Structure 1
Amino acid sequence: MSTLTIETTRSGLVESVHAVSVAVVDSEGALVASAGDPQRFTFWRSAAKPFQAMSLVRDGAAERYGFGSRELALACGSHSSEPMHRALAASMLRACGCEEHQLACGPHPPLSQAVADEALRAGVVITPRWSNCSGKHAGMLALARHHGWNTAGYERAGHPVQERALDEVLRWTGEPRDAVRLGVDGCTAVCFALSVRAMATAYARFGTSTEAAARTLREAMLAHPELVAGTGRPCTDVMSAARGAVVAKVGAEGIYCAALPGLGLGVALKVEDGDMRCSPPALLSVLRQVGERRGLGLGGVADLRQHSEPVLRTTRGEPVGALRATGALRFH
């Protein structure tokens, strides 16, 4: 078994070591490369968002309410609560005749520290529109309105909106229903537990699918990476630098997934202790190794040192250590 770890260094000493499980697969689910336990069973969290948004396009709700590539990118995203994100979420709600109070996602501090600091200085009251998941939830409300389903409880297991999301998760992963466990995500919507390998399979298929809905969502994410995450965030920077070679989506608790359309491969990883600081350097290490092995050009991804080896600083901003990836994938 190959080992991939992220080391946390401080003042020249390795202070912590974080193990990572990785699956790199083709569209048939065959392992191309791995580290740790590629069968690791865990929640997909926000990396499932493109598949949760699939029915929004397939069922015609996006077309009905005029959702273009910007709105669909936000529906697939975990945004930073920047003004453009909040405004677009509000616009999506208006388009489908809903209001902010109908969003089931609760408010939370912005994922962007800069936005959070600005909100604190301004004394802003954080509302559900600021949630990183407000685009996903606005899309779910639009789907409910489109079908004439009750919008109350749209986020709960058993509601038709969540049943449609589950249908898509099963379709893209190829997993049987009894292989997927349902839970409650941080934003209150249903989340899905399955193997890391199954997650990677879904992304391999998503990256190469010719289905209209998949192609539309994939192109939306690539066209608007700033809406999938935000200024300075890894998803945004990786997709911008890769220039179409990578579709990337982070999830909570150390999950990261990516599609490599040019190779027909999908990547999924889980930082075993859930440390989200470690998932970006882990992803970039995997992308580098796969790119080198398969001859895939990744544009400026190799230059993203702020994400591949993020610097750790004191409270006064002085550098004191870093995160760094060690170990290697096993290629099958």
Structure 2
Amino acid sequence: MNTQDSIAAIVYRGEAVENTHMAHIAVVDAQGQLLCGFGNPLRMTLTRSAVKPAQALAILETGALEAFGLDESDLALMCASHSSEERHIRLTRDLLAKSGATEADMRCGGHPPIGDAVYLDWIRRDFQPTPACSNCSGKHAGMLAAAKALGQPLEGYHLAQHPLQRRVMDTVAAACEVRAGSIQWAIDGCNLPTPAFALDRLALLFAKLAAASDTTTPREAALARIYQAMTRHPELVAGEGRFCTALMKAYAGQLVGKVGADASYAIGVRGSDGQPARGIAVKVEDGHQGVLYAVVCEVLEQLNIGSAEQRQQLSAWHHPPMMNTMKVPTGRMALTFALAPRQASDPGSITPVA
């Protein structure tokens, strides 16, 4: 592929080109059919935290929520890359207490928070983050509950060879309809296994989330619970001033969205007005998060998802102002891609065998 064919954004300083950014986009229906895309929709992609709903599915299917009285807020937190606000830390500790696990059992480390306001507060208080302060603390607390529900040891719950992680890996493969042996597994920033597979498979996961109903199969009912948890509690999935929270609030249940580190993103859009449920997945090659959000907003614009008023609520991410320290405008970002339909004869429209 010619790299010029994948340039999705150009950043100008004055009229000089400062940076170009390549991206790949896949838009699929709930059967995995590629509807349209840009760049390489089949790019092998480390999904990072964008795949958390599939990991939460594995937790949900152990019966841990029923076993320990966990609720919809707990499930939303399991899907989160949160800002370590007080509510996120408190809910994590409450989740641990419900299952009888402790913060000492967690195998994620504390780190500076994603949110600037929280970071300033920590600096003022000389606060030292603990594992419950990790942006992935909900996922870890959920996995500890799942291990207990399965009667498995908590020790090593984060390791690829642990029975819980083997179960998670199988669930991810099935939910994304990828052959288990074709997934490349690495270690995420929070110390859990993270998968890499074709970008359109991430889009398929989110299309399934958006299409799921609680009146069909047990798995689809579980996916529907995850969709509802995330869209009803967007402030738990990210936090104040964060894109995921703003996106889901703007669309009020019409779609679910989740970011992954190093610029991956996925959205599930509910069917409406004759359109089927769709999944969208985006990967920006150089890992630039600001470019990622602008590209995601432009995809929503090109697909005419939601109302103009809803998309306008995301304008600060769609067209981010570029100013120097004196608030003088210095440049602009031009989004240069156009989504193109894929034909049935295209390799990109072939659904991999599960």
Shared topology, TM-score over 0.5?
yes
Give the partner amino acid of 1:108: H
The answer to whether structure 1 residue 247 and structure 2 residue 256 are counterparts is: yes
Asked if the contact 1:4/1:328 (under 8 Å) is kept, the reply is no
2-structure distance, mates of 1:244, 1:317 = 36
1-structure distance, mates of 2:201, 2:53 = 15
Instruction: Identify the range of structure 1 (98-107 vs 9-18) with the bigger mean alpha-carbon deviation.
Output: 9-18
1-structure distance, mates of 2:277, 2:308 = 14
Asked if the contact 1:222/1:239 (under 8 Å) is kept, the reply is yes
Deviations 1:222-244, CA, capped at 9 Å, x for gaps: 10000000011110001100112
Q: What is the match of residue 299 of structure 2?
A: 286
1-structure distance, mates of 2:139, 2:309 = 29
Structure 1 residue 291, shift from structure 2 partner:
2.1
Which structure 2 residues correspond to residues 11-160 of structure 1 after superposition, within 5 A?
A: 11-160=14-163
- Counterparts in 2 of 1:54 and 1:279: CA distance versus 1, 3 Å: same
Structure 1 residue 127, shift from structure 2 partner:
1.3
Identity across the alignment (%): 37
Structure 1 residue 4, shift from structure 2 partner:
5.3
2-structure distance, mates of 1:153, 1:128 = 15
Deviations 1:68-96, CA, capped at 9 Å, x for gaps: 11111110010001111111011111111
- Match for residue 222 of structure 1 among 225, 231, 244: 231
- Classify the secondary structure of the residue corresponding to 1:77: coil
- Counterparts in 2 of 1:117 and 1:175: CA distance versus 1, 3 Å: same
Instruction: Identify the range of structure 1 (271-280 vs 79-88) with the bigger mean alpha-carbon deviation.
Output: 271-280
2-structure distance, mates of 1:147, 1:254 = 34
2-structure distance, mates of 1:78, 1:324 = 28
The answer to whether structure 1 residue 276 and structure 2 residue 289 are counterparts is: yes
- Counterparts in 2 of 1:299 and 1:77: CA distance versus 1, 3 Å: farther
Structure 1 residue 322, shift from structure 2 partner:
4.3
Q: What is the match of residue 311 of structure 1?
A: 321
CA RMSD of aligned residues (A): 1.7
2-structure distance, mates of 1:153, 1:298 = 48
Instruction: Identify the range of structure 1 (301-310 vs 140-149) with the bigger mean alpha-carbon deviation.
Output: 301-310
Give the partner amino acid of 1:32: L
Structure 1 residue 301, shift from structure 2 partner:
2.4
Q: What is the match of residue 202 of structure 1?
A: 205
Deviations 1:183-218, CA, capped at 9 Å, x for gaps: 100101000010101111111112112222111111
Structure 1 residue 287, shift from structure 2 partner:
1.3
Q: What is the match of residue 335 of structure 2?
A: 325
1-structure distance, mates of 2:198, 2:268 = 16
Instruction: Identify the range of structure 1 (249-258 vs 3-12) with the bigger mean alpha-carbon deviation.
Output: 3-12
Instruction: Identify the range of structure 1 (223-232 vs 62-71) with the bigger mean alpha-carbon deviation.
Output: 62-71
2-structure distance, mates of 1:315, 1:93 = 43
Deviations 1:299-326, CA, capped at 9 Å, x for gaps: 5123311111222343455553444422
2-structure distance, mates of 1:136, 1:271 = 25
1-structure distance, mates of 2:309, 2:176 = 29
State the number of aligned residues. 329
The answer to whether structure 1 residue 169 and structure 2 residue 172 are counterparts is: yes
Give the partner amino acid of 1:266: G
Task: Kindly name which structure, 1 or 2, has the bigger radius of gyration based on alpha carbons.
Answer: 2
Structure 1 residue 269, shift from structure 2 partner:
0.9
2-structure distance, mates of 1:87, 1:324 = 41
- Counterparts in 2 of 1:323 and 1:141: CA distance versus 1, 3 Å: farther
Structure 1 residue 273, shift from structure 2 partner:
1.1
TM-score, normalized by length of structure 1? 0.94
- Counterparts in 2 of 1:173 and 1:10: CA distance versus 1, 3 Å: same
The answer to whether structure 1 residue 261 and structure 2 residue 270 are counterparts is: yes
User: Which ranges of structure 1 fall in alignment gaps of 5 or more residues?
Assistant: none
Q: What is the match of residue 352 of structure 2?
A: none
- Counterparts in 2 of 1:299 and 1:56: CA distance versus 1, 3 Å: farther
Instruction: Identify the range of structure 1 (33-42 vs 303-312) with the bigger mean alpha-carbon deviation.
Output: 303-312
- Counterparts in 2 of 1:299 and 1:217: CA distance versus 1, 3 Å: farther
1-structure distance, mates of 2:121, 2:17 = 34
TM-score, normalized by length of structure 2? 0.88
2-structure distance, mates of 1:319, 1:132 = 33
The answer to whether structure 1 residue 181 and structure 2 residue 194 are counterparts is: no
- Counterparts in 2 of 1:324 and 1:305: CA distance versus 1, 3 Å: farther
The answer to whether structure 1 residue 7 and structure 2 residue 10 are counterparts is: yes
Instruction: Identify the range of structure 1 (186-195 vs 9-18) with the bigger mean alpha-carbon deviation.
Output: 9-18
- Counterparts in 2 of 1:274 and 1:84: CA distance versus 1, 3 Å: same
